[in-house]
Amino acid sequence: EAETDNRKRAKAAMLFREGKQWDDDNNSSASEDSPELTINLTDAFVRRVVNNIKQQRPRGKCHPVGDGADIEIAEVINGIGRHVETRSEASVAYDFAAERSVDAGVGYFRILPEYVDPKSRQKDLRILPIRNIFSVTMDPSAIMPSGADQNWCIVSVKMPRQEYVRKYGIKDKTGWSDISKADRSDDWENKEEIRLAEYLRIREKAEKVYFIAGPGVEEFGLYKSELPLGDDGKFDLDQVKARLAMHGMEITGERDSIKRTVEWFKLNGLKVVERQILPGQYIPIFRVEGNAMDIDGRIRRRGMVESMQDPQRMVNYGEVAKIKRLGLAPKAPWVAVEGQLDGHPEWDDANQKSYSVLTYKPVIIETSGGPVPMPAPVRQPPAQIEAGFADFVQGMRSNLMAVAGMPSEPGQDQQGVVVSGEAIRRRNYLSDQSHYQYYDNLTLAIAQCWRVMVEWIPIYFSEHRMQRIIGDDSTPGMVKINEPSEEDGVQKVKNDLSIGRYDVVMDTGPGYETKREEGAEGLINLMKIPALAEIVAKTAPDLIFRSIDHPYMQELSDRLMAENPEGLKKIMEGLSSRAKSIVQSMSNENNALKKQLEQVQADLKYGITKSHLEATVKAHDTETNAQTKIHDTETKAHTALAVAEIRAGASLMN
C-alpha cells in the first residue's frame, strides 16, 4: 500500500526511457496514418548523468573512534573493505543502483557472507546488485536515504522447484495465495520456479550492560549475555567478578540498555523454511534514493525521467508533424495542360529518372483574339517548412533540455563560434549541479554498506590467516590478521580486528587514476622551480617517475626508491624475513664502508689543509723577510742621500 503508486510511476518511467513514449490514447498519441517516431533524447540525458557518477564513484574509509582502536588496524580494515569491493566487482552493484535512482527514483544493493570456496571453512563478504527493484519492499518509516534506520525489509527471490524440494522437502512446497491479482502471473511463480521471500527485521531487547576496566585497559562495556556463565550454566555475577580479577580487571558500573539483533528468515507462502541471526545492528540492504517528497505522510519518489516525459512527447509530436508537413509535397511535381503528355510515357517517371530530352505535344487553344499556344509543362517546387514551425520544434527541444537540467549544451552553439574549454567545463559543472542529489545519495548508501562491513569483518575474519588487502592506489598486499604473538612475556594478538570501535567517512571526487594524472602534472610543474626541484630530487625522486603512467617509469622509480633511506625502508616492509636479513646485512656493510670512506676523506682533507697552511705560513715569512730587507735598504739609501745633500749644502754655504 505504501509503495504501489511509486512502483507504477517507476515502471512507467523505466519503459518511457527505453522508448515506450507513445500511448493508445487518440488524443495524445499519433493518429493511425501517422508514424510514431521516437527521438529518444531522454535516454541520452539519463546516460550522461549515470556515466558522470561512474567516473566519480565514492570510496569508503574506516577511522578509529575508541575502545582500543588505532590507525594501523583501521588501515587493515580499509584494505579488507577494498578487497571485498574488488572481489565482488562492487562497481556493478553501485552503478546499477545509481542508474535506477536516476530513472525510476530508487535503487538497491546488498552485502552477503559466503565461503571463500567450496572446500574452505573461511568466509568472505560479497556486495551484490539487486536488478529487480520491485522485488524489494523496505520499511516505509525509514527516513534516511540509505535506509539505515529501517526496522524490516522484504526481498522476494525465485528458486527452481527441484532445488527447493531437494533443499526443503516436498511437504513445505507451498506457494503464495494472498498476493494481489496484478502479481498472479508467470513472472511471480510458474511450473519451473517457486517464489520465496527473505524477511529481515530488527529485534530490540532490554538488557543490562556492565562496564569493565583494568590497569592499562580502556574501559569497555559488555552485555549481560556476552559475559561468561557460571559453573552451573547460569549467570553468576560473583563468579564473573572473580574471573575478571584473575586478569586484573573489575566491573566499574552498570546500566540498563537495549540490544539490537538482526534476524533473517526465508519464507514460502505458509511457513518459515530457514532462519539465521546476522551480526551487527543494521539490515544489510541499502537504498539509493532519487528525489523524495513527503506529502501528507506518504513518500513520493521519482527520478529525472518523470518530469521529462511531457517535454519529450512534445519533441516527438513536433517531429511527426514535420514529417507530415513534408509528406504534403506532390509526388509528380509537374504542371501540364491536358493533352500535352499524350503519347509520351517518359513523363510518368520524370521525377525519378534523369532524361536528356523530355518531349511534349503542343496544345493550341482558340480564343476570340485568335489561336494561343499553351506553355510547356512547368516543374513545381516542393513544399517548404515554415520558419515559425521549425522554431516551434526547436523550442520544444530547448524545453526538454531545461527540464533535464542541461540548459546549455555545447552542441547548441552557433556554427563558426569558437567555445573555450573552460566555458565547456563550466557548463558541464552547471549540468552536474542539477543532479548532484543522485551522487550524494549513492555516497550515503555506500557509507552505510561500509558500516555494515566494519561490523561484519571482525566476525567473518576472526581466525588467524593471511589476508589480501588493497591500498588506495589499488596495489594489493598480504598481511597476517589475528596473529598470536608474545612481547616481553605477555601473550598478544597482532592485527586483532575484534578490538576497537570504528566509524566510516567517505572520500568523494575523482578516482585514484584521475588524481594521479593531476598529481603528476603538479609535480612536473613543481620541478620547474629550482629550489623546490633540488629538495624533491634529494628526498623523493622516485615519486616523480612513479606518478607518470608509463611502463618503464615504474621500473625506473623502483631503482631510485632503493637509493633513498625512506624508500629502502618501505621496500623492506614487503620482503620476507630471509630477504630482510640479507638486505639488512648488506645495508650494515654498506654503512660501515661509507663511514670508512668519510674518515679517509676527512683525514685526507685534514692532511692537505695542514700542508697548505704550513706552506702558506712559510711563504708569508719569506715574503715578510724580503720586504724587511728591501725596506732597510731603502731606508739606508735615503739616509745616505740626505747626509750627502746636507754636506753638499754646507760646502755650498761655505
Confidence of residue 546 (pLDDT cuts 50, 70, 90): low
What are the tens digits of pLDDT across the range 239-251?
888 888 888 888 9
Q: Is the pLDDT confidence value at 410 over 50?
A: no
Helix, strand, coil percentages in the chain from 3-state DSSP, rounded to 5: 45, 20, 30
Question: How is residue 420 written as a grid cell?
Answer: 573555450
C-beta separation of 245 from 264 below 8 A: no
pLDDT tens readout for residues 2-60 = 888 999 999 999 999 998 888 765 455 555 556 678 889 999 999 989 988 888 888 88
Q: List Cβ neighbours of 579 (8 Å cut-off, separation of 6 or more).
A: none
Please tell me the predicted confidence (pLDDT) of residue 57.
80
State yes or no: pLDDT of 571 exceeds 60. Answer: yes
pLDDT for 596 equals 81
Residue 101 banded pLDDT, cuts 50, 70, 90: very high
Amino acid in position 208: K
Banded model confidence at residue 514, pLDDT cuts 50, 70, 90: low
Quote the mean pLDDT of the chain: 80
Which cell goes with 17?
A: 526511457
Mean pLDDT of 550-554: 61
Question: How many C-beta atoms surround the C-beta of residue 531 within 10 A?
Answer: 6
Closest CA to 584 of 571, 599, 598, 594: 571
Q: Give the residue, 615 or 59, on which the prediction is more confident.
A: 59
CA dihedral 279, 285, 286, 292 (to 10 degrees): -130
Q: What is the average pLDDT across 176-204?
A: 75
Instruction: Say which range, 30-39, 268-277, 511-520, has the weakest mean pLDDT.
Output: 511-520
Distance in angstroms (rounded) separating the CA atoms of residues 618 and 6: 105
14-23, 173-182, 446-455, 540-549: segment of lowest average pLDDT = 173-182
**Of residues 174 and 336, more confidently modeled:** 336
Q: Which residue has the higher pLDDT, 172 or 348?
A: 348
Question: How far is it, in rounded angstroms, from Cα 521 to Cα 375?
Answer: 76
- pLDDT over 70 at 475, yes or no: yes
Residue 553 has pLDDT above 70, yes or no: no
Choice among 163-172, 232-241, 380-389 with the minimum mean pLDDT: 380-389
Q: At what angle do helices 41-55 and 4-17 cross, to 10 degrees?
A: 100
How far apart are alpha carbons 252 and 214 in whole angstroms? 9
Task: Work out the average pLDDT over 278-302.
Answer: 92
Confidence of residue 517 (pLDDT cuts 50, 70, 90): low
CB 461 within 8 A of CB 480: no
Q: How far apart are CA 483 and CA 487, in angstroms?
A: 13
Does residue 263 carry a pLDDT above 90?
yes
3-state secondary structure 514-571: HHHHHHHHHHHHHCCCHHHHHHHHHHCHHHHHHCCCCHHHHHHHHHHHCCCHHHHHHH
Percent of all residues in the chain with a pLDDT value above 90, rounded to a whole number: 27
Q: How confident is the model at residue 70 (pLDDT cuts 50, 70, 90)?
A: confident
Query: What is the pLDDT, as a whole number, of residue 34?
Result: 63
Instruction: Print burial letters for 176-208: b (CB count within 10 Å at least 16), e (below 16).
Output: beeeeeeeeeeebbeeebbbbbbbbbbeeeeee
Which grid cell sits at 127?
Answer: 556486495
Q: What is the mean pLDDT of residues 198-219?
A: 88
pTM above 0.85, yes or no: no
Is residue 72 predicted with pLDDT exceeding 50?
yes
Which residue blocks in 202-308 are alpha helix, DSSP H? 237-246
Give the type of residue at 548: I
Residue that wins the pLDDT comparison between 198 and 599: 198
Q: Is the pLDDT of residue 100 over 90?
A: yes
Of the listed ranges 126-130, 143-147, 150-154, 513-517, the one predicted with least confidence: 513-517
| Chain length of the chain | 654
- Rg (the chain; Cα; Å): 44
- Per-residue pLDDT reduced to its tens digit, 427-459: 555 556 788 899 999 999 999 999 999 999 999
Per cent of the chain over pLDDT 70 is: 72
**Span 191-207, average pLDDT:** 90
Angstrom distance (rounded) from CA 642 to CA 93? 115
Burial environment of residue 121 by CB neighbours within 10 A (0 to 12, 13 to 18, 19 or more): exposed
Instruction: Give me the amino acid identity at 461.
Output: F
d(C-alpha 338, C-alpha 95), whole Å: 69
Question: Has residue 511 got a pLDDT over 60?
Answer: no
**Which tens digit of pLDDT belongs to each residue from 50-64?**
988 888 888 888 888
Q: Indicate whether 119 pLDDT > 60.
A: yes
Tell whether the torsion through CA atoms of 21, 27, 31 and 32 is positive or negative: positive
pLDDT of 224 strictly over 50: yes
Contact yes or no for 527/474 (Cβ under 8 A): no
